[in-house]
Chain A
Amino acid sequence: MVEVHLWSGLRSLTGGQQVVEVEAKTTGELLRELVRAHPQLQGPIDAGVSIAIDGRVIASGLTETIPEGSEVYLMQRLRGG
């Protein structure tokens, strides 16, 4: 299981939980499973999210491996100038 830390603005979409657990080996699986467990997360995920794995920010990739026991954060998709 992967513990996914959400930003606090998402708590209203997960019944108040800021950390949720899903079964996922890749970033793509993680997003899919997040929506399956918490359908209301579809909105933020469609709007664009990035995923930090042990501090490394995966801006958009769906194929990055999530190692066992790693610290995972969902973040708003980054935009640059």
Chain B
Amino acid sequence: MALDDRKSEFTFVGTRPDRPDGLDKVTGRAKFGADMSAPGMLHGAILRSPHAHARIVKIDTSKAEAHKDVKAVVTRADFADVPFKPGLEGEFWNVLENVMAGEKALYDGHAVAAVAASSALAARDALKLIEVEYEVLPHVTDVDKAMAPDAPVIREGAADYSVPEGMHPNVVRYHESGHGDVEAGFAEADLIIEDSFVTEATHQGYIEPHACLGMLGNDGKGELWCTTQGHWIAQKTCAALLGIETSQLRVTASEIGGGFGGKTTVFIEPVALALSRKANRPVKIVMTRSEVFRATGPTASASMDVKIGMKKDGTISAAQGVFRLQGGAFPGAPGDMTAMCAFAPYNLTNVKQIGYDVMSNRPKQAAYRAPGAPMGAFAVESVIDELCKKLGLDPVDVRLKNAAHEGTKASYGPRYERIGLVETLEAAKAHPHYTAPLKPGQGRGISCGFWFNHGGETSVSLALSEDGSAQLMVGTPDIGGSRASMALMAAEVLGIPYENIRVTIADTATLGYNDVSHGSRVTYASGLATIKAAKHAVEKLCERAAAKWDIPVEAVKWENGCAVPSGPNAGDFDPMPLADITADMGRTGGPISGHFEATPEGAGVSFGTHIVDAEVDPETGKTSITRYTVIQDAGKAIHPTYVEGQFQGGAAQGIGWALNEEYIYGEDGRLQNSIFLDYRIPVASDLPMIDTVIVEVPNPGHPFGVRGVGETGIVPPLAAIANAVSNAAGVRMKQLPMSPPRILAALKDNNG
């Protein structure tokens, strides 16, 4: 997309106005997924497999159906016959199989049937009346064991074209890339370190459980209210899974209580619609926290081998990595993304990376901020830290020496456009945190991180009101403050105050298709579309002013919220404010709106550098994060407070992932910690003040220079914290989370 309208001086962009959803959220007025009701509404509940892997021999629903409070029961037979295809090509089939099991239950918590009843309690009770006969099968939940020759096969034929012959059928996708000659590179190295690393699956941990209200008639027309990061993908997927036309299902996104990638697909929504179609009543389903943990997507777990060769001066001469990720009983674990991102911060002559997507008997993984990238960074940046230590080199200097910059051939192939990694490293070196003294028992770690960012289908409309205010309709659910940043960008173009613009997340019947709020794309893509839609409206405002002044439209320009003559020859007219034009717009040509639809392709990659101080208690193994600084390139921070919030959120979630969070499976393949009491996410007392530095190296692909900031912030923390903890404990930590028992065990091993 040609961008001939770049801007670098701003009036509204870069300021920190109050958030538009603040009052609604602090007063409880905001409507989340579970807050919607409808007349005649039923409550749905889902029966879930207690087995990690089992053939479903028979489901008898007759007793449940006979219960007076039960109005409908559904099983897989009540969904459309979606064709199976291998790999990610068959994603609709994969989602359907996850939403409601077919021939087999594939993990502990897999949905096998559902009921709709007159109350939530009656629905839950009725589940006990459904009789399921299972034939329990051998299971596997560990990624390395799932690849072993004797592992139980989860589904034959799930592998796509990419998997080399001879691999276990649980390996469903394979990625290999790189350039140069790694063997020659290792031969040039003064020191080579090769090591293996493991990370556990973690959940996105959004506060709001999945919830929806669905209505679907036998005429194929439906309405769905749900908490989601993307209501168009919910519309498209539900329509495919239920065999109805996409446009006949209107989906409205509720206010969302966190998503982080986990709400980019559907789980309960097609079930509510199937129950509603059968009962001919609206059906509401609200997941319990335990259901969220057992049956919605955690991130993939990983097992990784990394080998890096370095010269005495710190130059990396060769790097290679093998990244094995399990993503549950379905294709989709982002082993390819892990591989492509792992070495991306560095300017390497010789690099090779291999990624595996492996199935196991766990829930279908879902995206979690920069999916795949944090694990790879943990392995790679740990080895770099160890190399620096052994060669007596400063870790920031070594990263600066090897840092990718404009023109560097990325580890995943192409050359970088203008990027800001060097600037984040220079800011880290100059930051007082980097040179602050450490107390005994403390260690410092740093890490870089990379993420691609994304554009995606985007459609925006802006309508002006007679009083000169504006309403902006966007299609990307607000998961990170986008209503504020959209209003700021529209204000910048229109020249009217931020407060005069109301931004709404429009439903699927109101706008054209919008891709999900994922890939750090919203401020970039919806922002670009907002700017273009506002400019479209400005063109019309200028036309109306030109008509009033009776001069050619080319002789009118837009300045500070007013139409003005473009130069002395255009005529002598006082500036005409926006509100003066809209006041009689109905009588001067009709309502004034602006629209923009596109798939912008200039998201611009993003880098960050984190500095962490950690203190390890050698008696208990408990780690405290004592200081944390996030430095990241935002391109241009539209609303800096929200950008800082994204940076801090990435660090907070990274602290949880690094230190405590993990899916724990028993020998029976069942999840043992499916509530927040047992699955420990960070609480306020676990977190230090997280300092932030916003670096601004403008993205050439956005009119205001924006780069997405939502995901990169979770890439460095695992590695930066592991480096800090390893330096504090005096032993290299190679497995996440670094929970107290693991740290104590490592200390014990180290001390012999």
Contact = CB atoms under 8 A, between A and B. Distances in A.
A48 interface: yes
Contact of A81 (B176, B369, B455): B369
B519 A78 contact: yes
Contacts, number: 107
B414 A59 contact: no
Interface in A8-58: 8-9, 12-13, 40, 43-44, 46-48, 52, 54-58
B513 interface: no
Contact of B520 (A64, A73, A80): A80
Given A80-B371, A81-B371, A59 B456 contact: yes
A64 B601 contact: yes
Contacts of B340: 75-76
B588 interface: no
Pick the most buried of B336, B340, B367, B518: most chain A CB atoms within 10 A of its CB: B336
B514 to A, nearest CB: 14
A61 B414 CA distance: 17
Most buried by B among A52, A80, A81: A81
A71 interface: yes
Contacts of B337: 76, 78-79
Contact of B711 (A13, A44, A59, A81): A81
Contact of A8 (B178, B417, B519): B178
Main secondary structure of the interface of A (DSSP, over half): mixed
Given A43-B160, A79-B337, A56 B413 contact: no
Contacts of A59: 454-456, 599, 601, 603
Interface in B653-706: 701
Nearest to A43: B161
Contacts of B454: 59, 78, 80
A47 B519 contact: no
A7 B413 contact: yes
Contacts of A5: 413-414
B566 interface: no
Contacts of B711: 80-81
Nearest to B419: A55
Contact of A80 (B160, B161, B519): B519
Task: Bin chain A's interface residue count.
Answer: 20 to 34
B599 A61 contact: yes
B416 A57 contact: no
B88 A48 contact: yes
Interface string B164-188: 1000000000111110000000000
B175 A79 contact: no
Residue of B261, B352, B415 with highest tally of chain A CB at under 10 A:
B415
B20 interface: no
B51 interface: no
Interface residues of B, number: 49
A12 to B, nearest CB: 8
B413 A75 contact: yes
Interface string B403-434: 00000000011111100000000000000000
A76 B414 CA distance: 12
Contacts of A73: 413-414
Nearest to B602: A56
B175 A7 contact: yes
Given A9-B175, A57-B414, A79 B519 contact: yes
B300 to A, nearest CB: 11
A9 B367 contact: no
Contacts of B336: 76
Contacts of A61: 599, 601
A13 B413 CA distance: 18
A80 B341 CA distance: 12
B162 A55 contact: no
A81 B372 CA distance: 10
Interface string B361-404: 00000111111000000000000000000000000000000000
B264 A81 contact: yes
B161 A81 contact: no
A73 B414 CA distance: 6
A55 B87 contact: no
Interface string B697-730: 0000100000000010000000000000000000
B438 to A, nearest CB: 34
A80 B518 contact: yes
Given A81-B260, A81-B367, A81-B371, A9 B176 contact: yes
B518 A57 contact: no
Given A9-B177, A47-B88, A64-B601, A79 B371 contact: yes
Contacts of A40: 161
B599 A60 contact: yes
Residue of A9, A56, A76, A80 with most chain B CB atoms under a 10 A cut-off = A80
B333 to A, nearest CB: 11
B334 interface: yes
Given A79-B337, A80-B711, A71 B414 contact: yes
B261 A80 contact: yes
Contact of B452 (A13, A44, A47, A78): A78
B175 A76 contact: yes
Contacts of A78: 337, 452, 454, 519
B89 interface: yes
Nearest to A48: B88
Contacts of B732: none
A55 B174 contact: no
B230 to A, nearest CB: 11
A43 B601 CA distance: 23
B521 interface: yes
Given A7-B176, A81-B518, 13 more contacts: A7-B177, A7-B413, A8-B176, A43-B162, A55-B416, A56-B601, A56-B602, A57-B452, A78-B519, A79-B519, A80-B518, A81-B366, A81-B369
Interface of B: 87-89, 160-162, 164, 174-178, 260-262, 264, 334, 336-337, 340, 352, 366-371, 412-417, 452-456, 518-521, 599, 601-603, 605, 701, 711
Closest 8 interchain pairs by CB?
A80-B519, A81-B261, A81-B367, A43-B161, A52-B414, A9-B176, A73-B413, A7-B177
15 contacts: A9-B175, A47-B162, A48-B88, A54-B415, A54-B417, A57-B452, A57-B601, A61-B601, A71-B414, A78-B519, A79-B334, A79-B337, A80-B261, A80-B454, A80-B521
